[in-house]
Amino acid sequence: MRWLKQLFTRRRRYDELSESIREHLEEKIADLMDDGMTQAEAERSARRKFGNVTLIEERSREVWQWSTLESIWSDLGYAARKLRKSRGFTITCLLTLALGIGANTAVFSTVNTILFHPLPYRDPGRLVLISESLPLQGSNDVGVSAQEYLDYRSQNDVFSETAAFETADFNLTGTGEPRRINAARISASALPLLGVTPELGRNFSPEEDRYGSDHVVLLSHTLWQSQYGSAPDIVGKSIHLDETAYTVIGVMPASFRFPLDAAPSSERASLWLPMAFAPNLLNPDNRTMEFGVGLVGRLKPDVSPQQVQTDMSQIANRFMRQYGYSGTIRVAPHVYPFSAHSVERARPLLILLAASVFCVLLIASANIANLLLARASARTQEMALRMAIGANRLRLIRQCLVESSLLGLLGSIAGILVAILLVAGLKHFGPTSLPRLQDVAIHPIVLLFAVALSLITSLFFGFAPAWRLSHVPPHASLRAARQANSDRSGQRLQNSAATAQIALAFVLLIAGGLLLRSFTRLLESPFGFDPQNAFVVRTVFDHVRYPDPLKRDVVQKQLLDRLSRLPGISAVAEASHLPLTDTRQIGFRLEHAARDDFHSAENSLVSPGYFHAMGNTLVAGRDFTLEDRRDSPAVAIISQALSSEYFAGRNPIGQRFQWGDRATFTIVGVAADVHVSSLDTDPPPMIYLDMFQIESGVSGKTAFILRGQSAGPELLSAIRGQVWSVDSELPLYEEATLQSLISESLAQRSFTLVLLSAFAVTALLLASVGIFGVISYLIAQRSSEFGVRMALGASRSQITNLVLSRGTRIAVAGCLCGLALSTFASRLLLSSLYRTDWYDPLMPCLVTLLLFVVVLLASWLPARRAAATDPMHALRNE
């Protein structure tokens, strides 16, 4: 407890110490006066012999203190007082840091979660996905076919295990309202390959992975909870999918989201079934009839992705030779890291955001640097004075460090708060199409990085001036301080920081401008349908409930009739696939073309009146009618894109093509182009078929389209009433307005646009603060010079021009650097631009203009102050 006693007796000790020193000096002075000195001489001489009293007292007191800790504490108090006193400086610094740290932490945490989140599987880095493209048909990543999967599985030398998967959906009935649910078929090898076991029950056995004995399911944790109340005895119970009984054999853990690991929860599989390929898919004649099987492989140790690619290509070449793939049917296998395939589409967006937010961080750092430099130079005098009265070098540096770290620390806390807010906002307002968005959490490493960067910046620039000054002997420091006021290197540093800010702001503004332009172009381009006053809702007439297509046709037509009588509805139609929501390709062969000359086109099975209900226009020919029956000649309507690609210069009406072995179709109409997969891809060639004439795998899956004044979500209960009065087991799902389909399709784009614009505006603000700081500082430094100039006859406007010219020089240099940088940076944007050139000349001109206005404004305000200098006052200060 001695330290406690010391703490309380310290004041007395200090007093005694001062007393001792005073006694010492008095004795000495008395002695010296005895030797014949005057009082004043004796005092001076005694003090010189004794040394720096304040310093010695301080050092002696340190003996009783935990010295470093306490002096840092006192430094901290001093720093806090200083920061409180210069409120403008502190607030600007803190806001800058908070924005820089907060925005970066939020964005990089998002990027980390989405792009680099490890999948919950054993050694996920060794998992690859194999998917084929059909280059001659222009189809990418169609998966593989069932038989190809079996070949890859048996012939490869690179995988220790392989598994197949396929997405599916079912009507789940028997648990209240009928529900449409997403599911996945997975081979029995999938779970062992992934290293996952069910949390309840067991995996599929190889016997169950065969057609006919495959009526078993694994439930997702979520489905088990929501539909079965987490019943512990669910295993062994039976559930109904598409009117068929399946036995539950287990429940998967909540973390299991295979195969769409990054998809939003609404698209994830709710249950899993065995792969169990249907016999017709294993018929050699149907080898390339259906793709869509996903192949996952676990790499053997020491096997590289290149080796996998080579091996897969060899196998593909072998089976293409063996089974005589010809014409446009040529497959090219691709190898992807399994973790990447689900986030591929979000990647450019995220990289763009990360790059731009990093620019903001750099600008923020430059701003902090500028502010601290300006402030430090202004404080050189104070430092010099403290040095002259005995503060040592270390002490001054420490003071600066403490002050900068306090600033950095407060900024970091503010930054963390901003980051938390931003992440919450991101989850709330971010596009649902962004994978794993709901999993985003602030990543500690990212936070640490942003905080460290800002701390390093503030420390470095905070203590640079103290360091410089501390190398000067104390008696010269006051003079050095005066020189530092016109210090060239400090000014150069500030100028380059300001120039860098302008350059980065330039780049961000260009990027924001290009995205905005591309966005407006997108909205101006015709959609191909009228999104106003239209409402869609889906249902499925499954094959078990409606085995007879003719009977299904009757029910569907009856429903169409009932729905068209709803008040305020002017048109009703059906379609198997809707633009901007789902797509389906079919392969077709033109009549008289070579036997193996297949092409692919988008396809939808539609009812008569579809084009009218969608607000699409038929540019030639006729619509489907009720006369087109299952026993009448097969007819088709094609899109303009298909017409111009295959019938350029000819009349497509009356031309014929074949789709598989189903029928030969006669083209009876041409419809206006529609954006199918997204608004920013060109409208593809498209074939519409009559759903009451043609039967296919997607028959029965349908969306009702209702157009009219009252078409909206309010109508849903009326629609339900009508549908369920005909069949109460029909699930109704994915209800939406066509307008909302458009905004959903644009969500990612508008999200990018909003974020990037926010970054650009922030950058502009920060840069203008930076310029303002530089110019104000310049004026403070040169006020006496301005005074002299004015005394010698310079007019106020000459002084203003002098100041403005400095701002202009920074702006010119910044814009030039920015222009050079943006030519590189805009390439990053390429994939996000729609019909907008990255070198669009208008944009740099506008941005340059904007930056000049901002820079001139930011320098004009302080310049006005400079011009208002009273020459007498400035000269007197000299």
Partner 1 sequence: MVRTSEHRDLFSGALELMILQTLKRKPMHGYALAQYIKAVSDDLLQIEEGSLYPALQRMLKAGFLKSEMGLSPRNRPVRIFKLTVAGCKHLEEQRSSFEKMFAGITRVLAVSQS
Tell me if 51 contacts partner 1 by CB under 8 A: yes
Near partner 1 by CB under 8 A: residue from 62, 207, 561, 714: 62
CB under 8 Å to 220, separation ≥6 — which residues?
251, 252, 254, 256, 268, 269, 270, 271, 272
- Note whether 501 and 766 are within 8 A (CB): yes
- Note whether 439 and 351 are within 8 A (CB): no
Query: Which C-beta is closer to partner 1: that of 45 or that of 696?
Result: 45
Nearest-approach distance from CB 56 to partner 1, in angstroms: 4
Query: Which C-beta is closer to partner 1: that of 388 or that of 586?
Result: 388
Binding flags for partner 1, 608-627, as an x/- string (CB under 8 A): --------------------
Near partner 1 by CB under 8 A: residue from 7, 19, 424, 445: 19
d(CA 168, CA 189): 18
- Note whether 702 and 541 are within 8 A (CB): yes
Query: Which C-beta is closer to partner 1: that of 88 or that of 473?
Result: 473
CB under 8 Å to 848, separation ≥6 — which residues?
506, 815, 819
Nearest-approach distance from CB 856 to partner 1, in angstroms: 50
Nearest-approach distance from CB 24 to partner 1, in angstroms: 4
Query: Which C-beta is closer to partner 1: that of 15 or that of 177?
Result: 15
Near partner 1 by CB under 8 A: residue from 38, 41, 49, 138: 49
Determine the interface stretch with partner 1 among 23-31, 87-95, 273-281, 558-566 (rule: CB under 8 A): 23-31
Tell me if 28 contacts partner 1 by CB under 8 A: yes
Handedness of CA 86, 394, 18, 62 (dihedral sign): positive
Nearest-approach distance from CB 53 to partner 1, in angstroms: 7
d(CA 186, CA 85): 67
d(CA 824, CA 829): 10
Tell me if 50 contacts partner 1 by CB under 8 A: yes
How many CB atoms are located within 10 Å of the residue 7 CB?
12
Nearest-approach distance from CB 478 to partner 1, in angstroms: 16
Near partner 1 by CB under 8 A: residue from 44, 45, 61, 620: 61
Within 419-478, which residues bind partner 1 (CB under 8 A)?
473-474
d(CA 445, CA 442): 9
The residue to which tokens 């309380």 are assigned:
8
Determine the interface stretch with partner 1 among 55-63, 376-384, 499-507, 514-522 (rule: CB under 8 A): 55-63
Tell me if 753 contacts partner 1 by CB under 8 A: no
Residue 575, both tokens: 């379609």
Tell me if 873 contacts partner 1 by CB under 8 A: no
How many CB atoms are located within 10 Å of the residue 503 CB?
25
Tell me if 720 contacts partner 1 by CB under 8 A: no
DSSP summary character for residue 285:
G
Nearest one of 237, 240, 242, 247 to 274, comparing CA atoms: 247
Near partner 1 by CB under 8 A: residue from 37, 53, 765, 794: 53
d(CA 822, CA 506): 8
H helix runs in 525-627, sequence order: 549-564, 610-614
Near partner 1 by CB under 8 A: residue from 52, 247, 326, 532: 52
Near partner 1 by CB under 8 A: residue from 37, 56, 618, 788: 56
**Ramachandran category for residue 528: left, alpha or beta (phi over 0 → left; psi -120 to 50 → alpha):** left
Determine the interface stretch with partner 1 among 16-24, 151-159, 297-305, 497-505 (rule: CB under 8 A): 16-24
Near partner 1 by CB under 8 A: residue from 64, 78, 460, 860: 64
One-letter amino acid identity for 121? Y
Determine the interface stretch with partner 1 among 61-69, 251-259, 599-607, 863-871 (rule: CB under 8 A): 61-69
Q: SS3 of 689, please?
A: strand
Tell me if 16 contacts partner 1 by CB under 8 A: yes
Q: What are phi and psi of 226, to 5 degrees?
A: -75, -40
Nearest-approach distance from CB 7 to partner 1, in angstroms: 13
Q: What are phi and psi of 157, to 5 degrees?
A: -115, 5
Tell me if 27 contacts partner 1 by CB under 8 A: yes
Q: Is the peptide bond before 259 cis (omega within 30 degrees of 0)?
A: yes
Nearest-approach distance from CB 392 to partner 1, in angstroms: 11
d(CA 724, CA 468): 83
Tell me if 33 contacts partner 1 by CB under 8 A: no
Query: Which C-beta is closer to partner 1: that of 40 or that of 63?
Result: 63
Near partner 1 by CB under 8 A: residue from 1, 4, 63, 69: 63
Residue 382, both tokens: 């104070």
Binding residues for partner 1, rule CB under 8 A, total: 29
**DSSP string across 738-765:** HHHHHHHHHHHHHHHHHHHHHHHHHHHH
Determine the interface stretch with partner 1 among 60-68, 85-93, 152-160, 527-535 (rule: CB under 8 A): 60-68
d(CA 142, CA 561): 38
Determine the interface stretch with partner 1 among 47-55, 106-114, 531-539, 792-800 (rule: CB under 8 A): 47-55
Nearest one of 706, 716, 325, 348 to 511, comparing CA atoms: 348
Cα–Cα distances in angstroms (integers) from residue 616 to residues 531, 639, 709, in the given order: 10, 11, 18
d(CA 657, CA 590): 4
Near partner 1 by CB under 8 A: residue from 7, 24, 202, 456: 24
Nearest-approach distance from CB 23 to partner 1, in angstroms: 5
Q: SS3 of 231, please?
A: coil
Q: Which helix (H) or strand (E) holds 734?
A: strand 733-737
Tell me if 1 contacts partner 1 by CB under 8 A: no
Nearest-approach distance from CB 483 to partner 1, in angstroms: 20
Binding flags for partner 1, 555-594, as an x/- string (CB under 8 A): ----------------------------------------
Q: SS3 of 586, please?
A: strand
**DSSP string across 640-670:** HHHHHHHSTTS--TT-EEEETTTEEEEEEEE
Nearest-approach distance from CB 18 to partner 1, in angstroms: 10
Determine the interface stretch with partner 1 among 54-62, 116-124, 477-485, 840-848 (rule: CB under 8 A): 54-62
Query: Which C-beta is closer to partner 1: that of 230 or that of 392?
Result: 392
Near partner 1 by CB under 8 A: residue from 60, 433, 496, 658: 60
Determine the interface stretch with partner 1 among 58-66, 196-204, 410-418, 624-632 (rule: CB under 8 A): 58-66
Tell me if 26 contacts partner 1 by CB under 8 A: yes
List 702's β-bridge partners, or say none: 539
Near partner 1 by CB under 8 A: residue from 20, 155, 255, 743: 20
d(CA 7, CA 2): 9
The residue to which tokens 């593809």 are assigned:
684
Interface residues with partner 1 (CB under 8 A) are 6, 13, 16-17, 19-21, 23-24, 26-28, 30, 49-53, 55-57, 59-64, 473-474
